[in-house]
Amino acid sequence: MPFDRKKADRAVAFFERYLKHGTGKYAGRPFLLAEWQKRIIRDIFGTVKDDGTRQYSTVYIEIPKKNGKSELAAGIALYLLAADGEAGAEVYGAASARDQAAIIYRLARRMVMQCPPLRRRTEVLNSTKTIYYRPTDSFYRAISADAGTQDGINPSGVIFDELHRQKNSDLWDILTLGGDTRTQPLTVALTTAGVRDESPLCWQQHEYASQLLRGVFENPSYYPVIFAADDNDDWEDPKTWAKANPALGDFLPMDKVAEAARLAKQNPAELNKFLRFRLNRWVQQESRWIPLEKWDACAGKVDREALRGRPCFGGLDLSTSVDLTAFALLFPHEDGMIDILCHFWMPAAAVRERTKLDGYPYDRWVQAGLIEATEGNTVDYTVVKRRILECAQEFELLEVGYDIYNANQTAVELQAAGVRMVPIRQTTIGLNAACRELERRWEDRTIRHGGNPVLRFMADCVAVKEDSNGLMKPVKPSRHYSRKRIDGIVAILNALARLIVHDGSGGAADPVVLVV
């Protein structure tokens, strides 16, 4: 992507020449950006498209408390207000509640009051938490989700503070969709780690940003930044503290974090706070299941032609109108390998919308023939049934395990056509053996999946949950909040559940190869 050094330098210079800190021991001092802050600012404002406009439209910054998040947000808000070159700019400082929204506003107001050029050109109205910038007829305003519907807005910039506190996506949707007519609208979300079940919107953004950082796919308009300790990092090690806290030893004193760690060692309740607020670890009952590096290590070439006529077990996961439908075939071999062939469908009318809203390249996957788009705004089950029957002719299809959700009528029709259909309970009892078996196989590298990007995307999306007996099942993403899809992995598990039964090993079947 092109980089405009002058624009990057200009943004940094705005902070360091015009802004001063407004609170604490740094009050009144110039806002000299730390190197990590400078890198973020330069990337955001210096990375441009071929036409010179800003490349990034969404910025997600996740960072532990006391690392200067709010001050950085206030500075970005003022730059968008007074130095971004946008006539009639509307910059909103958003949060879940009035008090939270007021934090960045107060910091921005103090910065304005300490800068004579800005003070002369602005008008501050505390009653509405608004800062007007007269030369371009622009304003910055603090708003919150608890203030009612925000109508008639046309944001050029949005600063969303503590996104993890948002209980729903209403305000986010209004603000991020309202600026579509702007040339280069920018949404900057800043947050610490949250509680997954309480923060579905923020968890969605966190997971999406994590996937971009891991290189699962690309989105050139989204800039992700996450400072956090990994789950396997030693939380008592100062190196872990530094990994999660870029300001440690600078404006975040080491002794403050050390004291918090000491209290955490003595008190389990304090430990949870330390992990979340100091190391930026999310609190959740569910955990990511498939390590992407181990999944990638199992890629390999599989010859579909060589599978013709061979016995296999099928797995079916039918979708709603917006989800993907997946059908998997598992082929056991005498040498202990199992090939898996996957088919995916989605409604043609949803391809463009889901690509835009979710940020995943469904359109490219359809063009590449990895997903079949069926006519209309729902998946055409007749196309799915026809393909399954074609597979029954192409291979020796012994059984198809299926999730009964949305599938009863389809299962009846396939059964009548001669395909043996077996319902699989989507519970820990119904799926635990298949989960453990698949888990063992990627650990042993007895899976070959061909590197299919759709299946890779789904493997990265899967989270699992264990019950009180230690039994496991995958957790399907929320249809209301999540962009993730795991249908292909579920289809594989449904097929694997039947293969295990016929193998007679109760979960110790022969090694697996995935064909996709």
Q: What is the pLDDT along the chain (516 residues), one digit of tens a residue?
A: 799 999 999 999 999 999 999 888 888 999 999 999 999 999 999 999 999 999 999 999 999 999 999 999 999 999 999 999 999 999 999 998 888 889 999 999 999 999 999 999 999 999 999 999 999 999 999 998 765 556 678 999 999 999 998 888 889 988 988 877 899 999 999 999 988 777 889 999 999 999 999 999 999 999 999 999 998 899 999 999 999 999 999 999 999 999 999 998 887 668 878 999 999 998 765 667 888 888 898 888 878 999 999 999 999 998 765 678 999 999 888 887 888 889 999 999 989 888 888 889 999 999 999 999 999 888 999 999 999 999 999 999 999 999 887 777 889 999 999 999 999 999 999 999 999 999 988 888 888 888 889 999 999 889 888 776 778 899 887 665 567 889 999 999 999 999 999 875 443 333 334 433
User: pLDDT value at position 128?
Assistant: 92
Q: Are strands 472-475 and 463-466 parallel, antiparallel or unpaired?
A: antiparallel
Residue 431, token pair as written in the block = 């799926």
Q: Could you give the 3-state DSSP secondary structure of residue 250?
A: coil
User: pLDDT value at position 481?
Assistant: 58
| DSSP letters spanning 200-240 | HHHHHHHHHHHHHHHTSS--TTEEEEE----TTS-TT-HHH
Please name every residue paired with 329 in a beta bridge, in sequence order, or none if there are none.
314, 341
Per-state percent for the chain, helix, strand, coil, to nearest 5 = 45, 20, 35
Residue 24: left if φ>0, alpha if ψ -120 to 50, beta else—which one? left
Single out the residue of 452, 481, 504 nearest to residue 492, CA to CA: 452
Distance separating alpha carbons of residues 389 and 375, to the nearest angstrom:
20
Distance separating alpha carbons of residues 264 and 236, to the nearest angstrom:
9
Distance separating alpha carbons of residues 425 and 415, to the nearest angstrom:
18
Strand order across the beta sheet in which 396-402 lies? 372-374, 338-347, 325-332, 311-317, 396-402, 421-423
Is residue 30 classed exposed, middle or buried when 0-12, 13-18 and 19+ CB atoms within 10 A define those classes?
A: middle
Residue 354, token pair as written in the block = 């889901």
Single out the residue of 342, 337, 341, 516 nearest to residue 444, CA to CA: 337
Contact assessment for residue 163 and residue 203, using Cβ atoms and an 8 Å cutoff: no
How far from 431 is each of 122, 421, 440, CA to CA, in Å? 62, 17, 14
Q: Which residue has the tokens 């949950």?
A: 465
User: pLDDT value at position 359?
Assistant: 84
Contact assessment for residue 77 and residue 159, using Cβ atoms and an 8 Å cutoff: yes
Residue 470, token pair as written in the block = 């230690």
What is the per-residue pLDDT across 489-504, written as a single tens digit (0 to 9) for each?
999 999 999 999 987 5
CA atoms within 13 A on the CB side of 353: 9
Strand order across the beta sheet in which 287-288 lies? 287-288, 463-466, 472-475
Q: Which residue has the tokens 């009180």?
A: 468
User: pLDDT value at position 151?
Assistant: 63
| Sequence letter at residue 117 | P
User: pLDDT value at position 199?
Assistant: 82
Q: How far is CA 437 from the centre of its chain?
A: 27
